[in-house]
Amino acid sequence: MKDIYILGIESSCDETSASIIRNGTDEIATVILSQIDIHTNFGGVVPEIASRHHVKNITMVIEDCLNKANMSMNEIDAIAVTYGPGLIGSLLVGLESAKTLSFIYNKPLIPVHHIAGHIYANNLVKTMKYPLIALVVSGGHTDLVYMEDEYKFKRLGGTLDDAVGECYDKVARVIGVGYPGGPVIDKMATLGSHTYNLPIPLDDNSYNFSFSGLKSAIINLVHNEEQRGNEINKEDLATSFQEVVVDIITKKTLKALKDFNVKNLVLAGGVAANKGLRDKLTLICEENDIDYTFPPIKYCTDNAAMIATAGYFLYKEGRFSDLQLNAKSSVELQ
């Protein structure tokens, strides 16, 4: 069978990225330009600044990727692009670039849902087996998804308020360790011990999550200690926070695996890079005879390799879009 090369483009938040993937499994080249250093100054992503930087960089990123792959646009079979969800101004930059290339080079345009991309990043590690449960944990999502087969998503539940990554970023800001908070808190959590008594978030029988109560408890704790002139032990707080978060997430993931009698788990999204979460999931999967896959650390946060990979499976089904395709800031996983 002929090899299929998909050019993926991702610009939904603060990473400008392009990637070429062969047959939905082999990475030929990937370029990721992160704006983290720019947004760190503001303590979070500023949408207007993000889209301006995408405009400035997108052409260069796509060109770099083609050069790195030593390929020309004529050798590309289709262009996959994130159309949502994400920041509208950021999404539009990648989308318009993809539409332009699709028009000029007469290549099919494949619309990829950002979260489908995060899930399919696992296919770069090993072929995904169905049925599976996908645990999606990012700055915008905390979802448990049942997949019966390729591109058949059923959302079992998710966060009722803050996403888990958002909560990490907020806690990091409150204790003054910068943006994005996830990686910093994750590292600090290996240095402390679980000494702070924090509320367990939404410990019920559902597949839903709620992190706003936990977030508020930490904000109050930090403020109260400050007012009393006491110093917070940041490492201990990071450990206490991470353990509570990881425990509830793994508990509900295991429940979903058992309830649906599923033997395959994939992890997805920026928070999939979390060491505490990976370690605990590994433990429960090994104890329960579950086959698990985690994306490579570099492809946990936003990147175009995952978009090109997810795009390949839509390509196989001929699910293309015309040039009317529009960006959507929020859209159901499909």
Q: Which residues here bind ligand KG4, judged by CB under 6 A?
A: 13, 138-140, 165, 168-169, 180-183, 186, 269-271, 273-274, 301-302
Q: Compute the least distance from the CB of residue 116 to Zn ion, in Å.
A: 11
Nearest 5°: phi and psi at 213? -65, -45
| Nearer residue to ligand KG4 within complex by CB, 39 or 107 | 39
Query: What is the Cβ-side half-sphere exposure of residue 216, based on CA atoms within 13 angstroms?
Result: 7
Sign of CA dihedral 35, 40, 43, 48: negative
The distance of closest approach from Cβ of residue 187 to ligand KG4 in the complex, given in angstroms and rounded to an integer, is 8
Closest to ligand KG4 by CB, 108 or 270: 270
Q: For the purposes of burial, counting CB atoms within 10 Å of the CB of 34, is it exposed (0-12), middle (13-18) or buried (19 or more)?
A: middle
Looking at residues 113 to 142 of the shown chain, list those that interact with Zn ion (rule: CB under 5 A).
Answer: 138
Partner in contact with 108, chosen from ligand KG4, Zn ion, none, beta carbon below 5 to 8 Å by kind: none
Partner from ligand KG4, Zn ion, none binding residue 273, C-beta < 5-8 Å depending on class: ligand KG4
Quick one: which of 79, 209, 302, 311 contacts Zn ion (CB under 5 A)?
A: 302
Q: Is 240 in the site for Zn ion (CB under 5 A)?
A: no
Q: How would you class 229 by CB atoms within 10 Å of its CB: exposed for 0-12, middle for 13-18, buried for 19 or more?
A: exposed
Cβ 270 to ligand KG4 shortest distance, Å = 2
Q: Minimum distance between the CB of residue 183 and ligand KG4, rounded to whole angstroms?
A: 4
Nearer to ligand KG4, 66 or 305 (CB): 305
Judged by DSSP in three states, 263 sits in coil
Please, what is the minimum distance in Å from the beta carbon of residue 164 to Zn ion?
12
- Would you list the DSSP string of 115-160? HHHHHHGGGGTS---SSEEEEEESSS-EEEEEESSTT-EEEEEEBS
Distance CA 156, CA 247 (A): 19
CB of 227 to Zn ion, least distance (A): 37
Q: Indicate the residue among 34 and 233 with the shorter CB distance to Zn ion.
A: 34
Tell me 209's DSSP state.
B
Query: By CB under 5 A, is residue 264 in contact with Zn ion?
Result: no
Angle at 134 between CA 13 and CA 43, to 5 degrees: 30
